[in-house]
Structure 1
Amino acid sequence: MAFRADESASSGIESVRNYLIPRGIEAGERERSEDKLFDIVNKYGPAVESYPSWHPLVTHHNDHSPATVPSDSCGYKGLDHTRYFVNAFITCPYDDGQEIMDSVEALPYNPFAKITAERLDVQMYQSHATPILVRCDWIKPISNNGMIPASVAIPLMLQKEVPCWEWATCGETWETMRPYFLGSPHGSRSSLFVNQETGLTMKKVWNLLINTGMFGNIKVSNQS
């Protein structure tokens, strides 16, 4: 099935709204929470299932085991009941969330983007949870429509992948690496993070790399 960004974005936000804003919430509070949620979507992009492994929100992971969702493996502590957006995520711990705030503050410096966290003054998930927004504000310019351009995505991809030549035992194909390079949901060459043109350029660059043999022989999956 072809990847349709608009449909994926629409279904994603509906799923996140149903999860973060329960129907039992008082009407006035529900309206405030929904307004805040849509403000976040407008500023930080649609809901997603996972990030490209090079995205600043997940980039601080062990390259032997790349992460595509925020967790303790990429520096966060105390996350709970979490939903993701292109350039932010909301997490709703049952405590005051200070552990999350401190872990975000302790993340290594990133020259491409600034990662910050704030407590939200609305109710999300449960009345006794503390909703926290962790956001990625790009220092490098991105497209007006929120897509990450090739001039940013490809250097970040190379920054994570090229050093792997020192220990890699085989070259993984584009088809295998797509979820790590495009995020999810995704199509064959695009996602809610990168458009078709950028995705195609990323694919060409990746194929050039693996065809040098720098990672080892190309691993071909058996197709039944």
Structure 2
Amino acid sequence: MDFLDQAILSVDNALRTLSGQSRGSGRANPAAASPDTLLRPWERRRAGRMMRVNHAGEVMAQALYTGQEAGSSDPELRAVLRKARSEEEDHLRWCEERLRELHSRPSLLGPLWYASAWGMGYAAARRGRGANLGLVVAVENLVEEHLKEHLQDLSPEDERSRRILEQMECDEVGHAEKAEELGAVDLPRPLRMAMQGLSRVMTRGALWI
């Protein structure tokens, strides 16, 4: 695909992501069979804020993978990125469903999260295959750590959120392992620092806004 095709696909993904129209791979919500036993209002509000952060992270994942695909000229790598992005769309959809159940909402800063992450993904892709895959590893490792923290902080009664986050964590580990197998290299220090800084800003911002 030429630059115009990639631009159209990027805009299409952004619009679907930010409007709640993501398709994903069609996997069922892992929380479907779990009862919603989280009854205390303050616990539901807290869970809603946590899921809003996770949803914002999935918005950024869509942008990262889309930017990485747009910046790559490697057909094999683009196919791998597209598959991972589809699985991340499942995460986005599951988080949206859980937010509705908790009477919460996505972050109002979604366009900002998307634009910044797309630029980072595109920049890594332009540095070549190794750096592109290295971004996958670095991001998925950060997300894995974040999900482990949220799983520890969740109320023991919040089985539905837990099921979603556990499946997300499993998928993130798989994406990182696949990228390592394909030849990921360590990212330049400035890019790593920018990525970590953006992650901190997103986590704090999406918690409340």
The structure whose residues are more often strand, as a share, is 1
The structure whose residues are more often helix, as a share, is 2
Please report the TM-score for the alignment, with normalisation by the length of structure 2: 0.29
**Structure exhibiting the larger radius of gyration computed from Cα positions:** 1
Please report the TM-score for the alignment, with normalisation by the length of structure 1: 0.27
